[in-house]
Each structure stands twice: as C-alpha cells, then as structure tokens.
Structure 1
Amino acid sequence: MAVPAGPTEVRYTGNGVTTVFAVPLLVIQATDLAVYVNGVRLTSGYIQSGVGNPTSTVTFTAAPAASSQILFQLEVPFERLNDYQENGDFLAKTVNRDFDRIWQALKQLLRFTGRALMLGPFDVDGQGAFR
C-alpha cells in the first residue's frame, strides 16, 4: 500500500459523550499512534481498531470530558525492523511495509519543519527575512 500524502496528526475536542473517534491516518502498527488527552499521553483506556488500513478508529473506555483536547499523532520510531538475508525471501509484502514505515517516519519530520521559521532560498544565513 502506498503511503498517502497528508497530515500526521488529527485533533478533536471531547464532548463528554463520544467514545469513538476516526483516525484518518495510515497507522501501520498500533504502537505508531500516540494518543493524547489534554497534553497527557495515554497508554491505556482506549482500543485501536483498523490498524494497517488508511483509516482506523480509537475507542475510549470512558468518553473524554467536555472541551478536552484530543490529539492522535503518528510517532513512528526511526528503526529498522527487518533484516533481509542473502538468498532469503524477498517478499513484496515485507518490503512494501518497510518502505511505508520509512515514508511515515519522514512525513512526521515535515510536521516540525513546516512549523519552523525559515529563510528564503536566496537569503544568507544570519541575514534576510524569515518567511
């Protein structure tokens, strides 16, 4: 599966009733998705379903309080999970998954560079106007 272009995070506001939230991001492994409520990372109290699909869901065991800030963010670790062996199986499914994880990790770098002050392409370091 190709990695779709687009954001690496999605935000919601809790209403005290809703427990199921859509995650319109490709989450390759459940551990690749960080779940935050009011800035606190949760490690329990929710269930992920649809992992490996372009859209998945997170179901909280208790609805987040009204006006709480909910953040689902891809946090793909920069690691290599497979070790290909000489004359071993080189299966497309395994290779595609590895490449998808690389692209997911690279996409999350854009989340930070897109929020940084930057000089124009012809500005000299230490001079010029930030854009």
Structure 2
Amino acid sequence: MSIPNDRKYTASHEWVKADGDCFLVGITDDAQDQLGDLVFVGDVQVGAHLAAGDTAAVVESVKAASDIYAPVAGEIVAFNEALNDQPALINEAAYDQWIFKIKPDNAADVDGLMDAAAYEAQA
C-alpha cells in the first residue's frame, strides 16, 4: 500500500492529518498489519490535555495491545465513535479511519514530524 502524502507520520506509526484548526490521528497501515485483527480501540479521554508522546488511546488485537501516542501537545477534542462497534474498520482502511482528534497547542509542531518518504524509509 502506498503511504499518503497528505499527512505527517511519527516513528511510533501514527499518522496526523490537518482538519481545520485540529489534527486527525490514526495508525498507519503498517501498524495495523503488525497488530492483526483489531478487537478494541478506545481509552480516549476527550477533554484531556496531553504532552507530545503521552498515551492518547489504546488499540487491542487478537495478538497484542498497543498504546497510541499524541503526536503533538494539545487537547483531545473527539474520538471516532464508529470504532466502538467496529474496530476492524482500521484493518480495512487504516488511512481512512482516524482514532482521535487533537487541537494542538502549537500547530507548527506538526512540521517536525516525518513526511511520507521519511516514514517509508524508516518503516
């Protein structure tokens, strides 16, 4: 699968895409492939203020559980409720399903994340 160029990436396999003054955050196709069939996505605390690198969510699969980290400092403003009942939506199309939305303290912090080429090189 090709890695979309319309977003930024973290070394811990999150993707970040601008959405107005906020950012949508999900996991990469590589991450969902390594995890396997997802059975739970959640533990997102809407209203929580997180530092970059703090745990923002949890995904669980039949093989493992993994933390999802805040790519930048900011406030969690939404959780993708569709994932409550259908966590496997991420397995079907990882780049189409965001997990949480974050309003960054400083939007320019996203510029420090990897572009698609840099992520692909390290993946």
| TM-score of the aligned structures, taking structure 1 as reference length | 0.30
Q: Which of the pair has the greater relative contact order for Cα pairs under 8 Å at 6+ separation?
A: 2
- Which structure has greater strand proportion? 2
| TM-score of the aligned structures, taking structure 2 as reference length | 0.31
Which structure's CA Rg is the greater one? 1
